[in-house]
Structure 1
Amino acid sequence: MPLDFNTSLIEEFRTNAGRLGGPFEGWVLLLLTTTGARSGKEHTTPLGFVEDGDRLLVVGSAGGSDRHPDWYRNVLVHPAVTVELGADTWQATAVAATGAERDELFAKVVAVAPGYADYQKATSRVLPVVVLHRLPADDHTPPDRLDALADELVKVHDWLRDELAALSEGLAARGTAELTVELRRHCLTFCSGLARHHGGEDAGLFPYLAREYPGKAGVFERLQDEHATVSRALDGLRELLARVDETGPERLRPEFERLRAELEAHFAYEEAEVVPLLRAAVPDSAA
């Protein structure tokens, strides 16, 4: 779609909570906001979609063009996206399906929206199918007790450890296209979840604790430095992941093992230093 047409469509979507008129009256679209692969700027694109259980499927059809749409190129580098559907807005991880799974999902899409089959006939390019996995909503409500926040921190760490274990098992198997798809799903979900977790700590939790415990300033400085180191490692992992179909999962192993060691040490240090502070009955006593 032309840029100016997209802009007016996006404005109408947001003004009317997803309801559209004119030639799109009765259509159900979503808005997908991605981060530019090169520019780093946000871009919003109206897209058709098909529901598949608790996830959404979108196709990089570009109207049957011989070139992949920009939004698809963006998600290969930056899989963290924002989805607007009706009046709801939520964060998601965008995962491009490959191999047999891509074919199976494309068949599901065509069964609901046959027009995509015509787009595929118009080009020799294999139309990519991207799966949008909704991420749990952040809860910004302050907990009644700080130890409730401690429980949440350990819970998030345990979830991230589970994703690390799933990644490790996938890399050890070094297998089929189906394995590669599963590896990509776990890795991108993990990367997005970790980035959001660290961002929340840096913006809210650590500044609060630094005020309550001025004698622990060095702890929070170290944790924020570790966050920056992990972020750089994640960038490298994402770049490798974008080429996993060409290089194979085994190329990810050295980068992954380095990242895993850093994260395990980081989680252990954070739990040893931060959780006791959150569980303390009188925060100022540790200052």
Structure 2
Amino acid sequence: MSFNQAVIEEFRANAGKVGGPFEGAELVLLTTTGARSGREHTAPLGCVRGPGGQGVYVVGSAAGSDRHPDWYHNLLARPLVRVEAGTEDYEAVAVPAEGARREELFAHVVREEPGYGEYQRKTRRVIPVVELQRTHGAGSEEGGVAGMVVRVHGWLRTQIGEILRLPAGEAAAPVGMQLRQHCLAFCQTLDAHHTGEDAGLFPWLAGQHPQLAGFFRRLGDEHREMARMQQELGEALRRDQGGAVRRELEVLGRRLLAHLDREEAELLPVLRALGA
């Protein structure tokens, strides 16, 4: 068993408490999705509370190595992560701090944990400070597939609303890391949701209710149209143009909200009638 795996198992068996070199330290388990492999990877990391105890931050120190840790590369590509802290287990968007904010936070980190200052002195790279921003979706006590659909749709509605409230800057202004990471996390979830519906849920329901096959084809067409919009949003992110990102988000958001309303109106009664 690897050292990390032993720490992970001890953490989970003891409500986040571990011994050895980490005894007394505040740890989280951070699960990222591989940028290339698409597989989940869990790493035990020291964490620091932000100024005034607000926010949870992890630091990409890699013990002062000249390379960023793998988990950092993963979250740049797929910002939606899972965080285990003590007995809590929650989803978050990982957002690296930028510019003056990063300098302020790193100074705070070093005051709290001076070893990070030594790691920075060992390398020329700027050690990242990453905030783990908890996501919030609409809750539902309903069980089964219907409840799952309601919860995912609630998450998507909540996230698109929050993203559209983030500043995008002037038309040609660079896209800030906050907006970039939340956009990518949103698209990550939307892709997974639509793929699951197209490959599993819709074919199964069409088998149960053949008269709805045309409706499911129309939903599939809408999924493909939104996938095209996501590609355009991704291009705007790559061009690093805040104004273009905002325009693409607004168009995608309007289309998505109408799609979710239409899907729920037809789909939820069918799922509930089936007891699914």
Whether these two folds match at TM > 0.5 is: yes
Give the secondary-structure state (helix, strand or coil) at the position aligned to 1:170. Answer: coil
1:218 aligns with 2:214: yes
Question: Does structure 1 conserve the Cα–Cα contact (< 8 Å) formed by 2:164 and 2:249?
Answer: no
User: 1:108 is matched with which residue?
Assistant: 108
How many angstroms does 1:68 deviate by? 0.8
Asked if 1:162 corresponds to 2:161, the answer is yes
Amino acid at match of 1:70: D
Work out whether residues 78 and 184 of structure 2, in 8 Å CA contact, stay in contact via their aligned partners in 1.
no
Pick from 265, 270, 273: which aligns with 2:255?
Answer: 265
Question: For 1:175-226, what per-residue CA distance to the aligned partner results, in whole angstroms no more than 9, with x for missing partners?
Answer: 47xx724423542454356457657866998678757864333222332443
Match of 2:45 in 1: 47
User: Within 2, Cα distance between the matches of 1:205 and 1:140?
Assistant: 19
Gaps of 5+ in 1: none
Aligned-residue identity in percent: 46
- 1:184/1:24 CA distance change after superposition, 3 Å: same
CA contact (8 A) 1:56 1:132 kept: yes
CA 131–89 in structure 1, closer or farther in 2 if over 3 Å, else same? same
Gaps of 5+ in 2: none
The letter for the 2-side match of 1:4 is S
Q: Deviation of residue 115 (structure 1)? A: 1.2
What SS class does the counterpart of residue 29 from structure 2 fall into? strand
Question: Secondary structure at the residue paired with 2:176?
Answer: helix
TM-score between both structures, scaled by the size of structure 2:
0.76
Change (3 A) 1:20 1:216: same
C-alpha deviations, 1:12-50, integer Å up to 9, x for none?
222222211222222221111111112222211111111
SS in 2 for 1:49: strand
| Other-structure match for 1:275 | 265
The answer for the alignment partner of 1:183 in structure 2 is 179
Contact (CA 8 Å) 1:277, 1:283: kept in 2 or not? no
- What is the TM-score normalised by the length of structure 1? 0.74
- Count of residues in correspondence between the two structures: 270
Shift of 1:11: 2.1
Distance of aligned partners of 1:128 and 1:274 in 2 relative to their CA distance in 1, 3 Å threshold = same
CA deviations on 1:221-275 (whole Å, 9 max, x unpaired) are 332443355356546745764x6xxx5334x72x764564355234324424532
Cα shift readout 1:145-177 (whole Å, capped 9, x = no counterpart): x8x99987886565355245336x61545447x
Distance 1:111 1:221, change over 3 A: farther
Output the CA distance in 1 between the equivalents of 2:65 and 2:151: 46
| Residue pair 1:163, 1:190 contacting (<8 A) in 2 also | no
Contact 1:81–1:91, Cα closer than 8 Å, also in 2: yes
How far 1:4 sits from its partner (Å)?
Answer: 2.2
